[in-house]
Structures are given as C-alpha cells and as structure tokens.
Amino acid sequence: MIDRYLRFCRMLDIAARGLCSVAALALAATVLLIVVLRYGFGVGYIELQDAASYAFAALAIFSIPVCLAHQGHVRVEVISEKLGERYRRGSDIVALVLFLIPVFGLLIWAYWPDLAYSWSIREASVETGGLGGLFLLKTALPLAAALTILQGIAAVLARRPL
C-alpha cells in the first residue's frame, strides 16, 4: 500500500517537473520575444506580457512541491545536523503534522471561495486586451498546495528527510 502511494507521488512529481520545465521554457521564450519586439521593432503586446506572467506564476507555484520531493528546501534549524537520524525523523514528522499539512491545508481552504468565484466569472487578465484563462492559473495554487501535502507525507513514509 505504501509502495503504491510512493509510486503515485513519484508520478505526480514527474508531472509537476514537466509542468515546471514547460513553464520555464515558455517564460524564457516569451521574455526573449518581448525584448526583441520592443527594442528591435518598437512594438509590444499585452498578450505576451500576460503569457510571461502566467508562465512565471506557474513555475513559481509548482516549484514548491517539486523542491520538497527532491529535498531541495532550506532547513531552518541548525541543530538537526549534529543530532541523530532518530531525532531528524521525529522532527520531520512533527513538522509535517504541525506545520506543513495545516498551513497548506489552510491555504486550500481559505482560497477556495476566491477560486470558485474566479471560475464562475471565467476570470481573465486585468489588462485590456490581455489573455483570458486567469481562472486556470489561479487553480494552480490549491493544486500545488495539495501536491506539497502529498509529497510531505511521501517523504515521511519513505523515511527520508522532509
């Protein structure tokens, strides 16, 4: 059962990494295109600006669960380096139960009404002539929060540091 859950979390991680890769490539290409068009030809497009903003937001949001899955986060405590594996496992479980799950769970719960409203009006860019689909991007925040919770649980079950 635990192995199936860990495999599922690995698949979610691969999907999130793929999304981050696409967002990073889209961000780089869009920003390059914006600079070339603006300074080379003197033209600009609001849609390109929005595309760059959307790509950056997706990259930043989905980098959180990916970073947690690959142990790339920053530890605040300096004591754990000197203490044993048993202490680190215990502190990781405490961090998961007292901080990670409640904080990201609260994020999902508190953001849900805004997300529902955004979907109900099919929210688009605030800029005149900008891209539509902002409601889809806003969906990424609770989705990434849920992925972060799942990756935190997987880290504890796999007996590796959070």
pLDDT on residue 75: 65
% of the chain beyond a pLDDT of 90: 72
pLDDT on residue 77: 66
pTM to 2 decimal places: 0.88
**For range 76-91, the mean pLDDT:** 75
162 with 100: CB under 8 angstroms?
Answer: yes
pLDDT on residue 127: 87
Residue 44 lies in a domain: yes
Residue 47 lies in a domain: yes
pLDDT on residue 128: 86
User: In the structure encoding, which two tokens stand for residue 97, read together?
Assistant: 């139960």
Task: Band the pLDDT of 84: cuts 50, 70, 90.
Answer: confident
The 10s digit of each residue's pLDDT in 131-140 is 999 999 999 9
User: Per-residue DSSP letters for 79-96?
Assistant: STTTS-HHHHHHHHHHHI
Query: d(Cα 6, Cα 146) in Å, to the nearest integer?
Result: 15
Residue 80 lies in a domain: no
Residue 79 lies in a domain: no
pLDDT on residue 96: 87
Task: Band the pLDDT of 95: cuts 50, 70, 90.
Answer: confident
Query: d(Cα 90, Cα 150) in Å, to the nearest integer?
Result: 18
Residue 37 lies in a domain: yes
Residue 162 lies in a domain: no
Number of domain units in the chain: 1
**For range 15-42, the mean pLDDT:** 97
Residue 78 lies in a domain: no
- Domain hosting residue 91, numbered range: 2-73+85-157
The 10s digit of each residue's pLDDT in 96-109 is 889 999 999 999 99
Residue 89 lies in a domain: yes
